[in-house]
Structure 1
Amino acid sequence: MTEAKDAMNKGVYVEPSKTLYAEFMKSWLEDKGMNVRKSTFQSYTYYVNSHIVPALGHLEISKITPRDIQSFYNDVKSSGSLSSENLRKLHTIINDSLNKAQKWDMILRNPAALVDPPKVTKKEVEVWDEDDIKTFLDFAKNSRYYSVFLIALTTGMRRGEILGLRWKDIDEQNETLSVVQTMDMNGELNIGAKTSAGNRRISVDKNTLNQILRLKSMYKQELMANRPLYKNEHDLVIRTSVGTPLNPRNLNRIFYSLIKQSGVKRIRFHDLRHTHASLE
């Protein structure tokens, strides 16, 4: 009451909004969809609908307290339903949405700004040694997607960059690969990396380049065999037997299956990038 009286005296009083947080988050998401990448928007939508709204959506936006937000974080952490990195993403979304509510004079101040951001506990990076690499690659040679793993280990390219690689991005004469298109976790192709630094040219060794070029003859045979079904609208270097893009989730399943069969230490696909860096 004292704060409200003081605000009225200063001419900055904000009428408390009775809008439910769930209702406000619908419009917040719509606005975000105009300014972020499709994959980022899909991520925001998931966190809002699966975590934030079920926990806080029933509250009037002007009645959300720092204690409400902190208790939500505590519940998520104790349940183990999300990693510390994803819990931090929840905070980022809540803080950003309530900042907008404050700018729009729906609340006097942002309660999330009074809550300490959840601490991110970084996982220890796992890498393969040279024996692990040799064992895995020897075993994976019979896999259709052997080239994907070889490219990752010899260039340090990310999964999305490899799956988005096109034939026109390969410079055979100068032995380079250009990163200009990526694939997100939903299998969507996006021109341009997340940052300008992501668009780059990468040197590739002769063995890896030759392995990539061998795919051309395989694809010609598959086109002949599967012509009625074959689709190649994106000029992709890595594709399925009917010419369609390879979904990242399917690649993950293949990768982990090969790891299990070969008996090497289990690591994430992204750790192939760290493995490459550790060998340089």
Structure 2
Amino acid sequence: MGKRTNTATWNGKQWRIAVQKDGQRRYFYSSTQGRAGQREANAKADAWLDSGVCAKGARVADIGALWLRSVELSTSTDNYRPLESRWRVWVLPVIGAKKVDRLTDQDLQDVLNLAHAAGKSRKTLKSIAADMRAFCKYCRKSKISAYEPEELTIPAGARYKGKNVLQPDELAVLFNSDTTTFNRQRVPDPYINAYRFQVLTGLRPGELLGLRWEDVHGGVVYICRSINQLGEETQGKNQNAVRSFALSARAWAVLEDQHKITGNTGSVFRINNQHHYHTRWWAYCRTNGIVTISTYELRHTFVSVAKTLPAGEVKGLVGHSQDMDTFGVYGHALTGDAENIAQAVNAAFDKLLGEG
């Protein structure tokens, strides 16, 4: 509790007490006569000293800068940059000038409604809502405000942004054409195995870049690192990104082809950075008449092909579990479930590629 060394005094009309905290001076009053009024004024002062709630506190923009700094220091640059962008573009213009202690659910809802009206996807709106909740939590932990959002809702009309995936005829091209265009000449694509492996496993682009030969053991791949767009090595997008799975026969064949090129040490696919990988993939698409999709959408292609598998199995393969299932991971290795899943994935691709 805050330390108060004085007490309210009667000025002929009301009880009045002045207290100071962190360089800020506040006055509290009570018009109730008698000692009850004195206790009431003192209680108001004590509550302010104890809670730290800043009734005349800084504005959202000021405290937001402090919060962003704490986030920057505690997370990867890959996670921080999109958060900072959402805050700067969507939150600050709407509530940046408001005092933190005056925020209401409607203020935050206005941010979401305006972003929705601007055409942002449901996923983006959920991220903005999570950002604002995290900011309010920071304010509570810092005793700047006691406010906790309760009634934020994503507008009913918001939809997830559609993803493009390779269609069966385009998958057939991917697994039959090894060439691309470089310097206006048709040449073998050095990353053809990377494209194919990503489609066959559902790896994120950063996980593909981070894959090393020592991560492959006896037909099982262990995903334990990722290389973000800034070239930084991280442990992945979240705790579920650290996982292992058995390779399908097709995926194993792709690795064997890659082994002939790079040997069995160091990086598997020897890709410089994510931007370079994206650029070469798009060149491959243009050369071979494939719809130009992002390398991340190669991951969505895998999920689309594997959609006939049980949802729980697919989530485990791509690192989408709600919680890390340690027994599930090791249980697969012991009971043979991982091998069965790998065979099912292989059968799905065989069927699409006309080899089933």
- Give your verdict on TM over 0.5: yes
Distance 2:281 2:241 in 1: 28
Is residue 2:189 matched to residue 1:143? yes
The structure 1 residue matched to 2:169, chosen from 127, 131, 146, is 131
The aligned residue for residue 156 of structure 1 is 202
Rg larger in structure: 2
Query: CA contact under 8 A between 1:175 and 1:209: conserved in structure 2?
Result: no
Residue 125 of structure 1: how far off its partner (Å): 5.2
Matches of 2:227 and 2:155 in 1, distance apart? Answer: 29
Distance 1:197 1:268, change over 3 A: closer
Pair 1:186 & 2:224 matched:
no
Within 5 A, what are the aligned runs for 1:188-207? 188-191=232-235, 194-196=238-240, 198-203=242-247, 205=249, 206-207=252-253
Distance 1:118 1:185 in 2: 31
- Equivalent position of 2:19 in the other structure: none
Compared CA separation, residues 197 and 165, structure 1 to 2 (3 A): closer
Measure the CA separation in 2 of the matches of 1:185 and 1:83.
22
- Note if contact 2:174-2:196 (Cα within 8 Å) is conserved in structure 1: no
String of CA shifts for 1:138-161, please: whole Å, max 9, x gaps: 344421211111111222322221
Number of residue pairs aligned between Structure 1 and Structure 2: 253
Asked if the contact 2:122–2:154 (Cα under 8 Å) also holds between the matched residues in 1, the reply is no
AA matched with 2:101: S
Kindly state the Cα deviation for residue 15 of structure 1 after the two structures are TM-superposed: 4.4
Q: 2:211 aligns with which of 165, 169, 186?
A: 165
Kept in 1: contact 2:78–2:230 (CA 8 A)? yes
1:90 deviates by 1.3
Mean Cα deviation higher: 161-170 or 255-264: 255-264
1:251 to 266, 270, 277: 277
Match of 1:87 among 108, 125, 148: 125
Partner residue, 2:98: 59
Contact 2:220 2:244 in 1 (8 A): no
Displacement of 1:32: 2.4
Residue 201 of structure 1, CA deviation: 4.0
CA distance in 1, matches of 2:171, 2:201: 14
Question: How far has the Cα of 1:115 moved from its partner?
Answer: 2.7
Counterpart check, 1:237 vs 2:263: no
Letter in 1 for 2:111: F
Q: What amino acid sits opposite 2:95 in the alignment?
A: L
- Of structures 1 and 2, the one scoring higher in RCO (CA 8 A, sep 6+) is 1
2:208 and 2:118 map into 1 onto residues whose CA distance is 35
Mapped partners of 2:135, 2:247: distance in 1: 43
Deviation, 1:24, is 0.5
Q: Which runs of 5+ in 1 are unaligned?
A: 220-233, 241-245
Provide TM-score, normalisation by structure 1.
Answer: 0.74
Task: Note the aligned Cα RMSD (angstroms).
Answer: 3.4
Counterparts in 2 of 1:106 and 1:191: CA distance versus 1, 3 Å? closer
* CA deviation after TM superposition for structure 1 residue 126, in Å: 4.2
Alignment partners' CA distance in 2, 1:65 and 1:275: 42
Q: Secondary structure at the match of 2:82?
A: helix
Deviations 1:240-262 (A, max 9, x none): 5xxxxx32233223323322332
Q: Which structure 2 segments of 5+ residues have no match?
A: 1-29, 31-39, 180-187, 307-344, 346-356
